[in-house]
């Protein structure tokens, strides 16, 4: 897999764009909901071929009214030339939260890296795919936040599962404890936690974002799919639909996903209560084995091909829009 920046350049350059790179425009530390990511935006002289590419490798800041702090900064910075700026991003449907003239193409280097890293280390974890699954469910939570606390509080009454919540509820210390997660690479973490992923059938995934109007699908969901688990995704409203759009089988004939459109914490309660029998291991999952395998193969191989193809197709549309003489 080529570096994603090379993919950007090798795709957009031959189409006729003069690329001005802003791939590292978003800086740390994060400035919170009021300020978003600090931005160092490249300045340039604009021509009819100029394309400034600003890449967001992480989430962006969108409030309840749909206002995005970072996009507002970029639009104001480039002013009348904002239509010659391309935002490449991880966040789903980001273009719906912008009323200006910026351009958008979705591409998550994080998702690509998650798949490639664990594909290359497949021999280290493939054994978990064929071993017995004595536990019904898991719900692992490293960073403590409100929606994860609510989820864990509900699951405390469920038996035959693994649950963790940062340092408050650690995994058994004789194994790799989940409180070691901070500072650990995602692929290392997944492999060290194989004793959990390989022993459970259902994964209640508490994703990174919950209260935002849109967001990102992270390695937390990918790890469940790689481990051939039935995923119950608890994240921002509509995240399950976004997983479908990415091409994943979300087992709609097995999981009641009507919770996905419920606002606020009620979404958490519904996700668990509507799927209580599944979580408690009362449903035979043997008939779903082939579909679980297909999800795993797709996240390791097919999704990356789809992301690249989608990027090229969207880039062609952009070239047709901004470069009238462009022909594929």
Using DSSP's 3-state secondary structure scheme, residue 90 falls into coil
In a domain, residue 317? The reply is no
Same domain for 74 and 197, yes or no, is no
| DSSP output for 148-182 | HHHHHHHHTT--SEEE-BTTTBPPPTTS--GGG-T
pLDDT at residue 1, rounded to an integer: 46
User: Domain boundary residue among 84, 107, 130?
Assistant: 107
Question: For 302, which DSSP code?
Answer: I
Same domain for 81 and 122, yes or no, is no
In a domain, residue 277? The reply is yes
pLDDT at residue 267, rounded to an integer: 98
In a domain, residue 305? The reply is no
Same domain for 125 and 260, yes or no, is yes
pLDDT at residue 183, rounded to an integer: 63
In a domain, residue 82? The reply is yes
Same domain for 124 and 16, yes or no, is no
In a domain, residue 224? The reply is yes
Count of domains for the chain: 2
pLDDT in tens, the chain (328 residues): 458 889 999 999 999 999 999 999 999 999 999 999 999 999 999 999 999 999 999 999 999 999 999 999 999 999 999 999 999 999 999 999 999 999 999 999 999 999 999 999 999 999 999 999 999 999 999 899 999 999 999 999 999 999 999 888 888 765 665 556 566 789 999 999 999 999 999 999 999 999 999 999 999 999 999 999 999 999 999 999 999 999 999 999 999 999 999 999 999 999 999 999 999 999 999 999 999 999 999 999 999 999 999 999 999 999 999 997 756 6
Query: With 0-12 CB in 10 A as exposed, 13-18 as middle and 19+ as buried, what is 119?
Result: middle
290: tokens are 């082939």
User: Domain boundary residue among 50, 85, 107?
Assistant: 107
Same domain for 175 and 277, yes or no, is yes
pLDDT at residue 179, rounded to an integer: 54
Same domain for 85 and 146, yes or no, is no
Contact residues for 306 (Cβ-Cβ < 8 A; gap 6+): 246, 247
Same domain for 264 and 295, yes or no, is yes
263: tokens are 């606002």
pLDDT at residue 167, rounded to an integer: 85
Same domain for 183 and 263, yes or no, is yes
In a domain, residue 71? The reply is yes
| DSSP output for 167-231 | TTBPPPTTS--GGG-TTS-HHHHHHHTHHHHTTEEEEEEE-S-SSSSS----HHHHHHHHTT-EE
In a domain, residue 176? The reply is yes
Same domain for 136 and 39, yes or no, is no
Same domain for 212 and 239, yes or no, is yes
Range of the domain at 67: 4-107
Same domain for 89 and 214, yes or no, is no
In a domain, residue 308? The reply is no
Same domain for 102 and 125, yes or no, is no
> Which CATH number belongs to the domain containing residue 148 in this structure?
3.40.50
């Amino acid at each position: 897999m080529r570096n994603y920046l090379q993919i950007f350049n090798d795709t957009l350059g031959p189409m006729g764009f003069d690329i001005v790179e802003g791939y590292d425009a978003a800086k740390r530390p994060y400035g919170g909901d009021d300020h978003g990511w600090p931005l160092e935006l490249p300045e340039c002289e604009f021509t009819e071929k100029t394309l400034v590419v600003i890449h967001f490798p992480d989430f962006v800041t969108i409030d309840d009214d749909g206002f995005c702090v970072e996009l507002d900064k970029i639009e104001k910075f480039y002013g009348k030339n904002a239509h010659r700026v391309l935002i490449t991003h991880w966040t789903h449907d980001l273009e719906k939260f912008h009323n200006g003239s910026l351009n958008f193409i979705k591409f998550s280097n994080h998702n690509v890296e998650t798949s490639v890293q664990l594909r290359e280390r497949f021999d280290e974890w493939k054994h978990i795919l064929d071993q017995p699954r004595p536990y019904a469910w898991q719900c692992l939570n490293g960073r403590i936040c409100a929606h994860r606390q609510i989820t864990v509080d509900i699951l405390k009454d469920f038996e035959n599962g693994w649950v963790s919540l940062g340092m408050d509820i650690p995994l058994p210390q004789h194994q790799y404890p989940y409180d070691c997660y901070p500072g650990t690479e995602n692929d290392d973490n997944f492999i060290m936690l194989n004793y959990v992923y390989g022993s459970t059938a259902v994964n209640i995934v508490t994703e990174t974002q919950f209260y935002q109007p849109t967001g990102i699908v992270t390695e937390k969901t990918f790890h469940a799919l790689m481990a051939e688990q039935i995923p119950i995704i608890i994240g921002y409203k509509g995240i399950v639909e976004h997983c479908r759009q990415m091409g994943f089988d979300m087992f709609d004939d097995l999981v009641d996903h009507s919770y996905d459109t419920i606002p606020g914490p009620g979404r958490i309660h519904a996700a668990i209560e509507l799927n209580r029998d599944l979580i408690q291991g009362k449903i035979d999952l043997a008939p779903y084995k082939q579909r679980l395998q297909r999800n795993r193969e797709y996240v390791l191989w097919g999704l990356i091909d789809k992301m690249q193809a989608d990027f090229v197709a969207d880039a062609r549309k952009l070239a047709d829009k901004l470069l009238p003489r462009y022909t594929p």
